[in-house]
Chains A and B, each alone.
Chain A
Amino acid sequence: MAFINGYKYIIEQEAITARESVDTYYGIPVTPDDVTQNWVDYQFAELNTPQFWYIVFDESLLVVLGTPSEFEVVTPPFPTE
């Protein structure tokens, strides 16, 4: 279990919309040929019940997504590789 400071979304489309709003704010991509396609990416809390999607907080997101919240994300068992 990990405590994440960020933005939590119940359905994936909400996370996609949030990502797009950040891209629009920062003008990403500048040109269609740019390698950079997103400012930030979202992640899937696959092991949580119920599952959800989230974006990890970064200061650059504050102006677009507002104040973040803290939530728990179930992480895989400690790897022994």
Chain B
Amino acid sequence: MLFPFSFLKTTPSLLLDLYPSAAAAYSVRLLRTAYTGNAIRVRRSSDNTEQDIGFSGGNLDTSALTTFCSGTNGFVTTWYDQSGNANNATQTTAANQPQIVSSGSVITQNGKPSLLFDGSNDSFLSTTAIDPLFITAVNTPNTTAVYNTIMGADSSTAGSSGSIYFQYSTPTRTATFARKTILNTSTPTFVATSNRQETNNTTNLTTGTRTSTTIAIYTNNVVRGTGTTAAPSLAPTGGTDGGRFRLMAGYYSNSVVDYLPGNLTEFIAYTSDQSANRTGINTDINTYYGIY
């Protein structure tokens, strides 16, 4: 006897299936069932040719990656946005591209493929500007330097510093999420600074949230600092890159600065309030990466 229900297959819901409407989403895993694009585009150092690398079973297709980069190094030219907004993160200069394959071996953190940034000039630039209310990032700093930025955006050609800071400070390596609303001052208006000092070579899930009244910074889904906000008046719309954001670098005095030496494995941003979903989103991430 056949039981009709035995033929029903349940498709596991991915992070962006459960928590949709992300403004930008980059990962080494598939984040949305309906996403049919690639994960990354890779340049191999042996002949500088490029190839898109997709997913296999919901994970980065490391078999295709190591076949393409057999015995050589691989650098990521594009981290494709899985949100549906085509806000791809790219790096057009070879010397500034993060590495994902070293001498034929995939670079990993917590057993998952991960992008390694050199902290000198490696960064990605987004396609369009966003003003996020929720950011969460799987990151592994490896060296302490002055201001290591996970995400940064510039504010104005006339301004002296950027409008969005999602970064670590030195020497304490405390995480900060800040949103600046006043031009020509280096002091952010809305700031949440962590009370916890992070350790190099340890993977963190760093989360910044902002509502109309509160800005907060979390490490591993535990609140580490809060501040007070009001309606922001200065959007990330100008500066060197027209308000588009950088991954693993920030802005100061119309220059790209504050590079973060270390790994970035996943980065998701929402321009809507996700406070109610923070634990759900971060739990999904932690289940996959085993961070805390």
Contact = CB atoms under 8 A, between A and B. Distances in A.
Contacts of A38: 92-94
B98 to A, nearest CB: 13
A28 B161 contact: no
Interface in B8-66: 41, 43, 47-50
Given A27-B48, A35-B77, A36-B50, A81 B252 contact: yes
Contact of B95 (A31, A40, A76): A40
Given A35-B41, A35-B50, A35-B78, A81 B187 contact: yes
- Tell me the interface secondary structure of chain A in the complex: loop
A78 to B, nearest CB: 8
A26 B75 CA distance: 15
B252 A40 contact: no
Contacts, number: 77
B161 A79 contact: yes
A37 interface: yes
Contacts of B161: 79, 81
Interface residues of B, number: 36
Contacts of A39: 93-95
B147 A76 contact: no
With most chain B CB atoms within 10 A of its CB, the pick from A26, A27, A81 is A81
Given A28-B48, A28-B94, A36 B77 contact: yes
Interface string B90-116: 111111110000000000000000000
Interface string A51-81: 0000010101000000000000000111111
A30 B77 CA distance: 13
Contact of B93 (A40, A76, A77, A78): A40
A40 B122 CA distance: 11
Contacts of A34: 43, 50, 77
Interface centre among B121, B187, B188 (most CB of A within 10 A): B121
B255 interface: yes
Interface of A: 26-28, 30-31, 34-41, 46, 56, 58, 60, 76-81
23 contacts: A26-B48, A26-B94, A31-B50, A34-B50, A35-B41, A35-B77, A35-B91, A36-B77, A36-B92, A37-B92, A38-B93, A38-B94, A39-B95, A40-B94, A41-B96, A58-B95, A76-B257, A79-B147, A80-B186, A81-B161, A81-B162, A81-B167, A81-B178
